Amino acid sequence: MLIKRNPNGIDLPFPSEITPRAVFESRRSFIRQVALGSIAAAAAPEMLVREAFAQNGQKLPAKPNPAFIVMDKPTSVKDATTYNNFYEFGTEKTDPARYAGTLQPRPWTVAIEGEVKKPMTLDLDALLKLAPLEERIYRLRCVEGWSMVIPWIGYSLAELIRKVEPTGNAKFVEFVSLADKKQMPGLRSPVLEWPYVEGLRIDEANHPLTLLTLGMYGEVLPNQNGAPVRIVVPWKYGFKSAKSIVKIRFVKEQPRTAWNISAPQEYGFYSNVNPEVDHPRWSQATERRIGEDSFFTRKRKTMMFNGYSDVASLYGGMDLKKFF
Ligand SMILES: Nc1nc2c(c(=O)[nH]1)N[C@H]1C(S)=C(S)[C@@H](COP(=O)(O)O)O[C@H]1N2
Ligand SMILES: [Mo]
């Protein structure tokens, strides 16, 4: 059996050698499902997705960080990996799971540049060993009105920011996703300006909640969720959490971002989850938790900052209706 040595001292077998994710997930969720009395119902969808997972699915051990775990029931792996937004692979929710197989997450590098004293290019091994990997269960709320709860794996982006030593001019951080027509069929369509770019203010990027994300559900990120490395900013609408990033730039000015360019009146730079600021075309007061959406399930009330009230201190004195 071919084994690649991983810097964390974890042996990462090649994809053909790994236990299909469905097997892992069924073990992991068994207790949960039994507790909920839904084990019979859960078995069938898992069978359907077994095939897709055999491609991805290297295990990625991480220590749960209890300081960053919401109590909500995690979304099923199936829902989290088959209902996605990743426009580089198409605009339908099912497109990423269907078409992201052409993404090549290895080898991969992330260039860190701009207003930093130590610009660097890190490969995946370097990213994996930059800080201890933690499991954090975060809510993620899409601007479209649905949400999920996902056990992510990674560490605070602040760990990386510390290493590159931003200069005093670094006021914002820009995240640039891969834009390769050979790997990403959705780039043929001009739905967004490519590459997908997102950004944060430097203090938002440095907030401990902002996660440099390398895995989910105990494994490396599936392609459709932004393999091999993405950002997750849980108090902002999902589109701020750029997938498959290849560049992190520290800049003086607020960056132009993909959704803001496409519809500035609808998608602001801040995009904090806020039940009081409606999208021009729909209310943001409630949301649908994916997996709960049966006919009888009531919608959930959307929480200010998606429930992450600690971040309020980042916005002292700001009118969040104006800076939406
Ligand atoms: N590069 C890139 N990143 C992206 C997107 C995208 O289309 N391209 N979609 C965003 C949106 S709208 C959401 S809701 C989340 C979805 O993340 P998930 O599929 O892992 O749940 O990814 C965000 N990151
Ligand atoms: Mo989204």
Least confident segment among 35-49, 193-207, 219-233, 263-277: 35-49
Neighbours of ion ligand 2 (CB under 5 A): 85, 142, 238-239
List the one residue out of 74, 257, 253 whose CA is nearest residue 149: 74
In this predicted structure, the answer to whether residue 2 has a pLDDT above a threshold of 50 is no
Candidate from 56, 77, 86, 174 with most ligand 1 atoms within 8 A of CB, to mutate: 86
DSSP annotation string for 73-142: PPPPHHHHHHS---GGG-SSTTHHHHHGGG---SS-EEEEEESBSS-EEEEHHHHHHSS--EEEEEEEE-
Candidate from 75, 237, 241 with most ligand 1 atoms within 8 A of CB, to mutate: 241
* Ligand 1 residue neighbourhood (C-beta within 6 Å): 84-88, 140, 142, 148, 177, 196, 225-226, 238-239, 241-244
Question: How far is 249 from 17, CA to CA, in rounded Å?
Answer: 37
Cα 55 to averaged position of ligand 1 atoms, centre (Å):
21
CA distances 197 to 85, 194, 202, 232, 248, Å, are 15, 8, 16, 14, 10
In this predicted structure, the answer to whether residue 182 has a pLDDT above a threshold of 80 is yes
Cα 288 to averaged position of ligand 1 atoms, centre (Å):
17
Give me the pLDDT at residue 229, please: 98
List the one residue out of 92, 87, 256, 98 whose CA is nearest residue 178: 87
In this predicted structure, the answer to whether residue 225 has a pLDDT above a threshold of 60 is yes
Given the structure tokens 């260039």, which residue do they identify? 111
Does residue 153 contact residue 214 with C-beta atoms inside 8 Å? yes
pLDDT in tens, 110-168: 999 999 999 999 999 999 999 999 999 999 999 999 999 999 999 999 999 999 999 99
Give me the pLDDT at residue 324, please: 97
Q: Longest Cα pair distance anywhere in the chain, in angstroms?
A: 59
Give me the pLDDT at residue 296, please: 84
The topology under which CATH files domain 15-315 is: Sulfite Oxidase; Chain A, domain 2 (3.90.420)
Q: Residue 181: pLDDT band by 50, 70, 90 thresholds?
A: very high
Of all residues in the chain, what percent carry a pLDDT higher than 70?
A: 83
Which residues contact residue 233 at a Cβ distance below 8 angstroms, ignoring those fewer than 6 apart?
Answer: 200, 204, 209, 210, 211, 240, 241
Give me the pLDDT at residue 297, please: 86
Cα 147 to averaged position of ligand 2 atoms, centre (Å):
9
In this predicted structure, the answer to whether residue 85 has a pLDDT above a threshold of 80 is yes
Candidate from 239, 262, 288 with most ligand 1 atoms within 8 A of CB, to mutate: 239
Cα 14 to averaged position of ligand 1 atoms, centre (Å):
27
Spell 57-71 as b/e; 16+ CB within 10 A means b.
Answer: bbbbebeebeebbee
Cα 299 to averaged position of ligand 2 atoms, centre (Å):
18
Q: What is the mean pLDDT of residues 240-253?
A: 98
Cα 64 to averaged position of ligand 1 atoms, centre (Å):
24
- Token code pair at residue 8: 């964390």
Give the closest ligand to the alpha carbon of residue 95.
1
The chain-wide mean pLDDT, for the chain, equals 88
Take atom 8 of ligand 1 and give the residue whose Cα is closest.
86
Cα 39 to averaged position of ligand 1 atoms, centre (Å):
30
Domain boundaries, the chain: 15-315
Angle at the Cα of 229 (from 9 to 89), degrees rounded to 5? Answer: 135
pLDDT in tens, 11-68: 333 333 333 444 444 444 433 443 343 434 444 444 334 333 434 789 999 999 999 9
pTM of structure: 0.85
